A and B are shown apart, each in its own frame.
Chain A
Amino acid sequence: MSEETQNRRLVVEAKHLVKRFGKFTAVDDLTLSVNEGEVFGFLGSNGAGKTTAIRVFCGLLKPTSGMARVLGIDVTDDPEEIKRRIGYMSQRFSLYEELTVLQNLRFFGGVYGLRGKAYKEREKWAIEMTNLQGKEHLQTGDLPGGWKQRLALACAVMHRPKIVFLDEPTSGVDPISRRRFWRLIDEMAGEGITVFVTTHYLDEAEHCDRLALMHAGKLMALGTVSELKEVFSDRAVLEVKCPDIIAALDLMSGQDWVLETSVFGTRMHVVVRNAQEGKRLTLQLLEGSGNAPVEAREIVPSLEDVFIHHIEKEEAAK
């Protein structure tokens, strides 16, 4: 009994989860757990294995080895029971474009067995949540992307799931719609729904309670945003500007006092042990090479820096 209650607290659980397609390992030894009511961010570049992992959790793919449990149910035991209890929204907001807003809601509600009064109630809720009042009879295909996305989310949570998996829900949507969408996610989390969301927008990750960084199928780091940034506690990140950024990158990368370098447009982020010392050495080196004027200042590390740090560490380890 007590184990049962504990399992309910852990909404998603994976232990040494592996998913291979032939020789390609999409998810490599993934271990993580998601608590009830959390907004859990799953971060990584394209092909990092995020979608594959989500599909395993949703019972769409069988794990090659390892264990995955959702709401206490093992994905290999009873994927259909999991499907009854979760919500899922794929990258492509899969709606029927030739149907109207209401027809979509009615279909997806119906598939989850919602009918009669229970359905009507949820329909009203969905229309309010998505702010689609007055648009009920429009064809879904005619709606702008942001509205489709909100409607798809409504369809995915009509049946009040305990957890909803969102696979890159904001790809291809304008920034204002994205922000609006995240407000919806925050609201759902407020109602106690656990949200498991993948994204490759690092700014969105700041909304998440906890984050998992994925790269090439492997979990690189796991924790809250501030926990993740702790890897920089004994180092400093400098932002460097100079006329020839590529030459500067080549030059800096070879220095033993430079820990990491990465280019952000016309600027470069340089990780060093000590901010003052690093700044002095940078100016000296670049100005000495004739790559002037040089500007260097210490910045608060962003998630992107954290991400790059982990990837570089992994690549170096190979």
Chain B
Amino acid sequence: MYVLWRVIVKEFLQLRQDKRIIPTVVLGPVVQLILFGYAANLDVATVPLLLVDQDRSAASRELVDNFVSSTYFELMGVEDAVKDVEPWLVAGRADLALVIGAGYGNAVAAGRSPQVQVIVDGSNSTAASLGLGYANGILQAESARLVATRLQAGERSLIEIVPRVWYNPDLKSRWFYVPAVLAMILMIITMVLASMGIVREKEIGTLEQLMVTPIRSWQLIVGKLSPFAVLGLIITFLVTGIAVGWFGVPLRGSLMLLILMTMLLLLNTLGLGLLVSTIANNQQQAMMGSAFVVMLPQIYLSGLIFPIDNMPEVIQYITYAIPLRYYATILRGIFLKGVGIDVLWPEALALAAFGIGFLALASLRFQKRL
């Protein structure tokens, strides 16, 4: 135990001397949070709208009013011909054009199906699909109203969808992304530090020196990794504090559970870092190995950024082998849904199993021989 203590003390002394560590641990998460909290905002507030009204009837004006008063659209301009739409979309002055052809009013009056064209700038697919969604909603409502009037029936006779979004009622992408930042930051910092910490000792030759001492592998591993676990917990507090205090992300579940689950994640990241360090011979290799072989696939396939449900089925199965996936589910569960271990235990179990597996594998590979 005394040997373990000396290793831990030594690691902390080294960390204190490392001038890059404070910027990495504090600035890294803060910059990432700002990037994801502000810049990577997928919410579309208002869609700039271009109107081509060739009908100019009472009916068409009513439809236009529905768009403008919906608060989803901002009317940017009016054109007479469809061919004049393109310059607006190319210049980005409008994302969506509503084209009401001549005869709309007559069709409505005659009880035929009127046609309306919506042209969307698909180069920004997120904004396009959102704009299209808003437009669809308005047009459906208008269509329902027209049908209702024609049937001379009460609106109740038609199916009306009343959507309720739970856990994130305004569908704020910030709420989706800020917990993701915690997962990514934790993984990147603790894993890179763990792999570099050991590879650096390989490079300067102290690892060889340590291998000739009676120190046990587990003492060296636990001693070297525990300071990084502490750093990981500090990061968790920091990021959670900013997420809740600054970005207003709700922490509906238990902070204690969050900390415990984070410790399970750290088993994974530190185990993977150690595994990389048993393979890499220098810090560049360790960095490259961590970044491209481990971290990027983990982040892409974890569901932190791209929803797993949208992935092809084969890939969806692969995501079960990604520890970060479970942590992502746990994080959103604790932050947004406020659920406890009674719901999250399968994920916690998977995370623990992977973590112990990685650490065991790394310890087996980490021998006191050259």
Contacts and interface: CB of A to CB of B under 8 A. Distances in A.
Interface of A: 55, 58-62, 79-80, 83-84, 86, 88-92, 94-99, 103, 106-108, 110-113, 115, 139
Given A111-B213, A111-B215, A112-B213, A94 B10 contact: no
Contacts of A55: 370
The 4 A-B residue pairs with the shortest CB-CB distance, nearest first, are: A110-B6, A94-B209, A92-B205, A98-B17
A60 B207 CA distance: 11
Interface size band for B: 20 to 34
A84 B214 contact: yes
Contacts of A90: 205, 208-209
Contacts of A139: 17
Contact of B208 (A60, A79, A95): A60
B14 interface: yes
A61 B208 CA distance: 11
Nearest to A116: B2
Nearest to A99: B13
20 contacts: A60-B368, A79-B368, A80-B214, A80-B368, A83-B211, A84-B214, A86-B212, A89-B209, A92-B204, A94-B204, A94-B205, A95-B206, A96-B206, A98-B13, A107-B6, A107-B9, A107-B10, A110-B3, A111-B6, A111-B213
B369 interface: yes
Q: Describe B's contact surface by its main secondary structure.
A: helix
A241 B3 CA distance: 61
A111 B9 CA distance: 12
B213 A96 contact: no
Contacts of B212: 58-60, 83, 86, 88
A96 B206 CA distance: 7
A94 B208 contact: yes
A111 B211 contact: no
B18 interface: yes
A111 B8 CA distance: 11
Interface of B: 2-3, 5-7, 9-10, 13-14, 17-18, 204-206, 208-215, 368-370
Given A80-B214, A94-B209, 20 more contacts: A55-B370, A59-B368, A60-B212, A62-B369, A83-B212, A83-B213, A83-B214, A83-B368, A84-B214, A90-B205, A90-B209, A94-B204, A94-B205, A96-B10, A98-B14, A99-B13, A110-B5, A111-B3, A111-B7, A112-B213
A70 B345 CA distance: 53
Given A61-B370, A111-B3, A94 B213 contact: no
Nearest to A91: B205
A88 to B, nearest CB: 4
Nearest to B15: A98
Contacts of A108: 213
Contacts of A94: 204-206, 208-209
A195 to B, nearest CB: 16
A83 B369 CA distance: 12
A113 B6 CA distance: 10
